[in-house]
Structure 1
Amino acid sequence: MHKVVGIFFIALLTLTNCNKTNESVEVLARVGNSVLTKDVVINRFPEYRVADVENQVTQWVNAELLYVAGVRAGFNKDATLVNQIKDYQKKLIGQTYLEMALRSRVGVSTEEIKDFYTVQKEMFRRRHGEALINNFNVDNKKDANKIRALLEKGAGNKKRNELFEKYGVNTISVEEDRLHPTINKAVFGGSKSSYVGPIKSGDKYAVVEIIKRFPKGTYRSLDDVYDHIYLVIQKRKAAIQSAVIIDSLKQEILFELNVGGL
């Protein structure tokens, strides 16, 4: 939710029909008494990206209009809503404190990651064959043949490099039996060729460059699973340390708990 709101505010920076209330304050959006200035947005989000401004502005305006209408209807005084807002505020403040307190307690060292990989290595055994591939899909066989010819020239060829940008192709990892049957057989069927196609696939022609094959039963390398292990260890530490922090707060802050009669 915070990310979406952030992107929206960032997008407002690019509005071209901005109004200025004075020489130093530039208003980017206004609904009733709600005003957002450029300076506020820049201070909150110094690194911004331009993204779908009109759509985001429309969403913001709609939300503000509904909010104003809700206030006029008295929903801002509704006891249930007020309590929900208070509960959310408490949770947000508490969660922010917990995240701050955890920062120095959930560090993960390289040695911890290596040890986890060694002890839990079976977790990283491949249950299916896998391959790293570059997959091109084009409308006609002539273009597909040209692509294969350029791919076979190998890395460092300028025209070959331009192919990846033109068709938006990035290297991906695929599992056996997840590809078109004909392509799957060519990639995983025992052939040593690094190139497959052109192969008709629906209304397209596919050309596949196989960078590397990984047979079933082999292990993913530490480099491949490093980030995953990091997050697993960090999550475990966070769970343990969260309990420690709560226990510590119970010693510092007076509280009472009476649930025996429920």
Structure 2
Amino acid sequence: MHRTPWLRVFALLGMSLVLAGCPRETPDPSEIVARVGDAYLTRDVVQELIPENLPPEKKSSYLQKLVNQWIEAQVLAQAARKEGLELSPGEQYKANWVQLDMLGNKYIEQKISNLIPVTEKEIEEYYLANQEEFKRDFAEVHLVHLFLEKRDRAIEKDIRESKSLLEVIEKNYLDQRATPLLEPNGDLGYVIYDHLRPEFKRALRNRKTGEIIGPIRTRDGYHYLQLLDRQPEGSIRSLDMVREEIAARIKLQKRNQEIKKLIESLKEKVPIETHFNHLNMN
């Protein structure tokens, strides 16, 4: 799901508000997107605020919302200035902090690569040392699922003659067929048993792994299930199931360590003082 980076939006809009109060040259008219009094919103600022993964069909509404927010912010800020209102030192600090944070993150991105290597040995060691983190909170079943709105004799024949429901699905391109259900056609992976439809739970009761079950009639149509595995509550997920998650955790740990080293090295190059005695710490 796309998430709007509103912190970044507000930071850049805030910069434009600050600049609006400072004398500067009028931008090229062809670059102006909006104007409120002597304040201008230019194309380059707006372009900076367009998320890379914004779907094309949402671009127009996103930009209109962005420009309207800038206009409203300018109208309010200019009215506040006319009445002599100013930001308190604490409020100004918060505004500056957003810009400092963004600039610092930009520096980190430039200095520290996101391509952090993680070895299989590191993954295995993490897995063995943190087994408790991979315990199942609930009983789970590994299922393959097929849904048909109407019974199909040819597909039912394939199912009877096959030991793999997934092969039947792929052979008939049923995994590419849209369904009106939450459950897609294909391998569902491990799912929490208690979250299954009541009809599925009844059908799976006392079934052996590998067994193909169905057709299961529901108000939607007909379902087939193949039970590939059962795992009880409290069992440990296999390494294959959590390998990518572990790799991501290790990468994050390594990156945070690199960031800490970078900050410590920078601290050594600049005079830093703290005077906590000037604060009321009680």
Shift in Å, 1:124: 3.1
The residue correspondences of 1:218-233 to structure 2 (distance < 5 A) are 219-233=236-250
1:59 and 2:65 matched? yes
TM-score after normalising by structure 2: 0.62
Alignment counterpart, residue 94 of structure 1, candidates 104, 114, 125:
104
What is the letter of the counterpart of residue 156 of structure 2?
Answer: A
Specify the SS of the correspondent of 1:166: coil
Say if 2:179 is the partner of 1:167: yes
Aligned residue number for residue 253 of structure 1? 270
Match of 1:214 in 2: 230
1:235 is aligned to 252
Q: Offset of 1:94 from its aligned partner?
A: 1.8
Moved more, 147-156 or 249-258: 147-156
Distance in 2, matches of 1:86 and 1:66, equals 21
Report the Cα offset of residue 213 of structure 1: 1.7
Once the two structures are superposed, residues 63-94 of structure 1 have per-residue CA deviations (whole angstroms, 9 ceiling, x without a partner) of 23313323432469832454432111111112
Scaled by the length of structure 1, the TM-score of the pair is 0.66
1:151 to 1:256, Cα distance in 2 relative to 1, 3 A = farther
> How far did residue 259 of structure 1 move?
0.7
CA distance in 2, matches of 1:158, 1:118: 36
Residue matched to 2:130? 120
Pick closer, same or farther for the CA change 1:194–1:124 going to 2, 3 Å: farther
1-structure distance, mates of 2:133, 2:43: 50
C-alpha distance in 2, partners of 1:110/1:158?
Answer: 32
Q: CA deviation at 1:53?
A: 4.0
Give the superposition deviation at 1:116: 1.6
> Number of paired residues?
234
Q: Which consecutive residues of structure 2, in runs of 5 or more, have no partner in the other structure?
A: 7-29
Q: Is the 8 Å Cα contact of residues 4 and 51 (structure 2) preserved in structure 1?
A: no
Q: Match for residue 43 of structure 2?
A: 36
Q: Whole-Å Cα distance in 1 between the matches of residues 174 and 114 of structure 2?
A: 45
Q: Aligned partners of 2:169 and 2:116: how far apart in 1?
A: 46
Question: 1:105/1:245 Cα in 2 relative to 1: closer, same or farther (>3 Å)?
Answer: farther
Counterpart in the other structure of 1:72: 78
Alpha-carbon distance in 2 for matches of 1:157, 1:189: 25
Residue 226 of structure 1 and its aligned partner are, at CA, apart by 1.2
CA RMSD of aligned residues (A): 4.2
Q: 1:189/1:65 Cα in 2 relative to 1: closer, same or farther (>3 Å)?
A: farther
The aligned counterpart of 2:143 is 133
- Relative to structure 1, the CA distance from residue 89 to residue 197 in structure 2 (aligned partners, 3 Å threshold; closer, same or farther) is same
The Cα offsets for residues 177-207 of structure 1, whole Å up to 9 and x where unpaired, read as 121233123235434432344343xx53462
SS of corresponding position for 1:30: strand
* Contact 1:150–1:160 (8 Å) recurs in 2: no
Q: 1:197 touches 1:208 (CA, 8 Å); kept in 2?
A: yes
